[in-house]
Amino acid sequence: MKIIQSVTAMQQLAIKLKKKGRTVGFVPTMGALHTGHISLLKKCRRENDIVILSIFVNPKQFEPQEDLAAYPRRASQDILLAKKENVDIIFHPSVNQMYPSRYLSYIEVEKISDILCGKFRPTHFRGVATVVGKLLNIVQPDTLYLGQKDAQQCAVLQQMIRDLNFPVKVKILPTVREKDGLAMSSRNQYLTAQARVEATVLYKSLLHARDRILEGEQNPLRIVNGIRTMIMENSSGKIDYVDCINAETLESLNNIHGKVLIALAVWFGKARLIDNIVLTVKRRLPTLNKA
C-alpha cells in the first residue's frame, strides 16, 4: 500500500494507471474511518483493479464557527484499517497541497446547495463540490463511491458530475447503521452516553414516518410534523430541519409520490447528526368511471 501526500505525484500515478488500462475506484473521506467507509472500500475493492482512498479534512467545507479543529484525525488507525481492506493507495495531502497560496477557484452547484443542510451551512456544499472536483482531477477514477447517509452531498456531487461532464461513474451505497439503528458517522464520538441513547430516536422517527406513508399518509407536512414531535418528545435533540422532498431534484412536494427523501439534521450537544431514508411511493391515481 502506497501513501501519497503530493498532489503532483498522485496525479502522475493516476495518469500512468489509466494508460495501463487499470480500472480505478475511489473513496473520498475525511478520515476517522468507520464501518460505513469500510463498506464503500469493500465494494470498491470487489469492482476495481486499483482502490484509492483519500483522507483529507477539507477546511473549505466547514463554516467558520464549526468543528474543523476538533474534527477527529487519526491517520495511523485509518492506515491500518485501509491496509486490512487491501487499499492500494491512500492519498493524504496537506491543506497547503490542496489549497496553495492565492487559491481562488470554486465549484458551485446552485439551488440544491442552498436547502436542507445548506440553509444552516451556507458554504458547505461549495466546499464539498470544490474538493471533490479537485480530487476527481487528481485521482481520475473510473468510479466514485459515496454513502447514502450524506444524501444531499450525493445529490450535489451527482449534479456537479453530470453538469461539468466529469468522466466518472457514481455508486451510492446504503447507510450503514449501529445495531440500534443509529447511522454510522465520525461525529457520533462527540455524543455523551446519554445523547448516544437518545440519538436512536432519529432513525426510529424515520421508520415511523415510513410506516405512516405505507399506511396511506400523503401529506408531507404531517409527516414532517410527526417526526419533529417524536424527536422533541423523546430526546433533548435540537432540530435544524426535518424535510420530506423529491429525492432526485430535492424540490418540495405537495403530495407524497414517486421517489421521496425524508431527511433530518439534529443537534445533540456538540454533535450535529444527519440521517435520511428514501422511499419509492406508487399510488394509484384516481380514475374516472366511464358512464
| Catalytic residue ranges | 37
Measure the CA–CA gap between 155 and 134, rounded to whole angstroms.
Answer: 18
Stretch in the footprint of a second copy (CB under 8 A) among 103-111, 195-203, 226-234, 283-291: 103-111
Query: Which residues does 112 contact at the CB level (< 8 Å), separation at least 6?
Result: 118, 125, 152, 155, 156, 159, 249, 250
**Range 142-171, binding a second copy (CB under 8 A):** 159-160, 163-167
Min CB(110)–a second copy separation in Å? 5
Give me 169's grid cell: 461513474
Stretch in the footprint of a second copy (CB under 8 A) among 34-42, 83-91, 101-109, 193-201: 101-109
- The sign of the dihedral angle between the CA atoms of 218, 221, 224, 226 is negative
Burial of 183 (0-12, 13-18, 19+ CB in 10 A): buried
Out of 50, 128, 138, 209, name the contact with a second copy by CB under 8 A.
138
92-124 in b/e form (b: 16+ CB < 10 A) is bbeeebbbeeeeeeebebeebbebbbbeebebb
Min CB(164)–a second copy separation in Å? 5
Out of 29, 39, 61, 140, name the contact with a second copy by CB under 8 A.
140
Residue placing its CB nearer to a second copy in the complex, 111 or 238: 111
3 state DSSP class of 274: strand
Q: Is 109 in the site for a second copy (CB under 8 A)?
A: yes
Stretch in the footprint of a second copy (CB under 8 A) among 35-43, 82-90, 135-143, 175-183: 135-143
Interacting residue ranges for a second copy, rule: CB under 8 A: 7, 11, 15, 18-19, 21, 102-112, 129-130, 133-134, 137-138, 140, 159-160, 163-167, 249
